[in-house]
Structure 1
């Protein structure tokens, strides 16, 4: 590739590195990302799908700057085939992930009431009740049990379905669609079928809730459409990613639980010091590789000089929250799980306007999941050892596919 030079600096842009989609087991940090971090805070990458190359920022300071700087936007990404991880890319109007201001705030306001601290506190007793029922079933049937199948998958599905307002009769098929959408194994056709099915169902549900008085997301969106605050297609595009969001809790919690089950000192600390569990979970959130590769790109709206390089207007730019969470300038000895560390500054839920809408809800679910399993399953351990754990492959969200446990 021709090595061009910038006009603001004399530095030659870094070479473009191919970043294949790796299937990694356990909580191993992506070796390609580790190499890119060593090469420099700003590198260039080519991902398995889409076209061309993109900048990649890995340093904590740069990641925070880019994600909170209006000179970098998301809306333009929807009009281009930017190099990307996902085989299927068809953003819909209304998606918060691709909205820039002022549309982003307008759209987010429509559903904000369902994700506040107060709403989450009100939901907590009901969430605990649903979780206890699942653990009751595990205890009744006895060991061994696959905790992914029995608890880690159904609990977040039930909670998200409660928040969204999904009827009980529809929950299983909605979950099957979301699972297909985040998988890369079905290719473009499989993801397209699942998206069409899910978004068709969402459209019907939003229309049916136009006059509903409820506080669930679909009722809030139906009412917002009826008032003319958001268009119907925006409401549908807004709801889809929120519905899919429960998958992340399953797999993040699975990775955290795996770490506790394979590191006795961590498990002992969680059991012996329950008052410190929240802080330990924040450190685990910082540490776990919660996704494969990178998420969604931004586009430079104007020329920006960063890290001694010129990012030209129109250049696609990715940030790596995983890399930022391992920046030694912010988290000393970052490749070590330190339960005494203050990890509150981690970026696992993002940063800036696109900070995860459901972060408060996700934290609540994670705390309940880990705490309840530790408290109700004494002597919890892996059944058959780490080698019996199967890991998700060809997926954008990493985590254990099975977690066979005894107690």
Structure 2
């Protein structure tokens, strides 16, 4: 990543571009501001709606991969700064993996790692399929039309994440109402704070109640780890929150995937072939812009030279996985959906130490949802014209608000 420092004298820092929060619709609508920033160069500067100052933005695949693996860019310092950001509210908690640098990151991840391994997901798969079949049975029984978001895409990830986390059935709807408010950008900081306070108080009580548990659910694993003194209670609570919220992303990501599939007959037919599902889903993960703007910043811990510019120690830096997944140097004809794309080293679940903890779980749920719905609802199609599907607004995770279908 280091370049000849003599080149730096000729480089003028790129202008700071304002990047407003845009209400974008379907999965075909790529953020026009991000597209412009990608054209301007591999390293630009941005100012987001909240926080203070500006930040560097890297959009090329190789740079995103390098920065996310480079210990010279840390997350912990972000918690002590009001970095320019999309979210109106920002109160990270101790223990959050998202803001942990090494060696704390490995220490914090260790207690829950066993709940998200490939082996654990294989053991979970029959139970997850059972939960999904119960939901689809209800849809088949009631007949068309139906709203897939309400009937399947929302309750299924909640149920599966609740199984993994160890949420009692009577608490699931309450927990979901909190997570839904937390990821929304509507309602403002006050509403999000109320939801966070409610959810984290419940998580604290749940972890305390399982201090002596030998269970393999996440809350039991965390309670036992606190009891052994491996992590603090505060850290355990900070760990659990983002994992609990993760089910929301599956709902909306799968909603976008199914919308695209149901508006492209050729994709729908390819996904009906079991052997083709994995590659097609990977291509949809790469192609669909699942989030608004960018995620979490890093802070340069020392001066770093990149593309003739000096990123000074203390500068905030963002990477865009959405942009990296459209880099033509890695993905030929990146704006098209190519079900036969091979190789497809997309970064839809992130990269480096902060690669999504629940990636294997999310992939399992996605495969089950798409496969089961296409297999059990023959002729599945939208029940309304595609331009009448209502999309979520003022939110960090994009997706349809409803998905009316018939079959």
What TM-score does the superposition give when structure 2 sets the normalisation length? Answer: 0.98
Q: Distance in 2 between matches of 1:342 and 1:297?
A: 31
For residue 294 of structure 2, give the secondary structure of its aligned residue in structure 1.
Answer: coil
Q: Please list the CA deviations of residues 297-338 of structure 1 after superposition, one character each: whole Å capped at 9, or x if unmatched.
A: 000000000111110000000000000000000000000000
Partner of 1:191: 192
Partner of 1:160: 161
Partner of 2:65: 64
Q: Does 1:311 align with 2:311?
A: yes
Partner of 2:19: 19
Q: Distance in 2 between matches of 1:179 and 1:201?
A: 16
Q: Is the 8 A contact 1:261 1:267 kept in 2?
A: yes
How is 1:125-140 mapped onto 2 (pairs within 5 angstroms)? 125-140=126-141
For residue 9 of structure 1, give the secondary structure of its aligned residue in structure 2.
Answer: helix
Partner of 2:98: 97
Partner of 2:75: 74
How is 1:202-213 mapped onto 2 (pairs within 5 angstroms)? 202-213=203-214
Cα drift, residue 8 of structure 1: 3.9
Q: Is the 8 A contact 2:291 2:398 kept in 1?
A: yes
Q: Distance in 2 between matches of 1:32 and 1:343?
A: 28
Cα drift, residue 344 of structure 1: 3.4
Q: Unaligned 5+ residue runs, structure 2?
A: none
How is 1:357-376 mapped onto 2 (pairs within 5 angstroms)? 357-376=357-376
Q: Distance in 2 between matches of 1:94 and 1:142?
A: 46
For residue 299 of structure 2, give the secondary structure of its aligned residue in structure 1.
Answer: strand
Q: Distance in 2 between matches of 1:333 and 1:249?
A: 27
Partner of 1:124: 125
Q: Distance in 2 between matches of 1:96 and 1:9?
A: 38
Displaced runs of 4 or more, over 2 A:
5-10
CA RMSD of aligned residues (A): 1.1
Q: Please list the CA deviations of residues 110-159 of structure 1 after superposition, one character each: whole Å capped at 9, or x if unmatched.
A: 10010000000000000000000000000111111000110001000000
Q: Is the 8 A contact 2:389 2:402 kept in 1?
A: yes
Partner of 2:50: 49
For residue 159 of structure 1, give the secondary structure of its aligned residue in structure 2.
Answer: helix
Q: Distance in 2 between matches of 1:387 and 1:402?
A: 12
Q: Is the 8 A contact 2:165 2:244 kept in 1?
A: yes
For residue 405 of structure 2, give the secondary structure of its aligned residue in structure 1.
Answer: strand
* Corresponding pairs, count: 402
How is 1:285-296 mapped onto 2 (pairs within 5 angstroms)? 285-296=285-296
Q: Distance in 1 between matches of 2:86 and 2:387?
A: 28
Q: Distance in 2 between matches of 1:211 and 1:192?
A: 30
Q: Is the 8 A contact 1:50 1:83 kept in 2?
A: yes
Q: Is the 8 A contact 1:283 1:342 kept in 2?
A: no
Q: Distance in 2 between matches of 1:169 and 1:7?
A: 62
Q: Distance in 1 between matches of 2:399 and 2:251?
A: 8
Q: Distance in 1 between matches of 2:155 and 2:388?
A: 21
Q: Distance in 2 between matches of 1:59 and 1:6?
A: 23
How is 1:348-363 mapped onto 2 (pairs within 5 angstroms)? 348-363=348-363
Q: Distance in 1 between matches of 2:299 and 2:337?
A: 34
Partner of 2:387: 387
Q: Is the 8 A contact 1:16 1:44 kept in 2?
A: yes
For residue 218 of structure 1, give the secondary structure of its aligned residue in structure 2.
Answer: helix
For residue 10 of structure 2, give the secondary structure of its aligned residue in structure 1.
Answer: coil
Q: Distance in 1 between matches of 2:330 and 2:223?
A: 43
Q: Distance in 1 between matches of 2:166 and 2:230?
A: 20
How is 1:239-388 mapped onto 2 (pairs within 5 angstroms)? 239-271=240-272, 273-342=273-342, 344-388=344-388
For residue 402 of structure 2, give the secondary structure of its aligned residue in structure 1.
Answer: coil
Cα drift, residue 6 of structure 1: 10
Q: Does 1:144 align with 2:145?
A: yes
Cα drift, residue 405 of structure 1: 0.1
Q: Please list the CA deviations of residues 263-292 of structure 1 after superposition, one character each: whole Å capped at 9, or x if unmatched.
A: 111111212x22111110000000010100
For residue 24 of structure 2, give the secondary structure of its aligned residue in structure 1.
Answer: coil
Q: Is the 8 A contact 1:9 1:310 kept in 2?
A: no
For residue 327 of structure 1, give the secondary structure of its aligned residue in structure 2.
Answer: coil
Q: Distance in 2 between matches of 1:385 and 1:132?
A: 28
Q: Distance in 1 between matches of 2:359 and 2:175?
A: 21
Q: Distance in 2 between matches of 1:133 and 1:275?
A: 25
Closer, same or farther: CA 6–315 of 1 in aligned 2, 3 Å: farther
Q: Distance in 1 between matches of 2:368 and 2:343?
A: 20
Q: Is the 8 A contact 2:157 2:248 kept in 1?
A: yes
For residue 290 of structure 2, give the secondary structure of its aligned residue in structure 1.
Answer: coil
Q: Please list the CA deviations of residues 23-60 of structure 1 after superposition, one character each: whole Å capped at 9, or x if unmatched.
A: 01101110110000000110000000000000000000
Cα drift, residue 343 of structure 1: 5.2
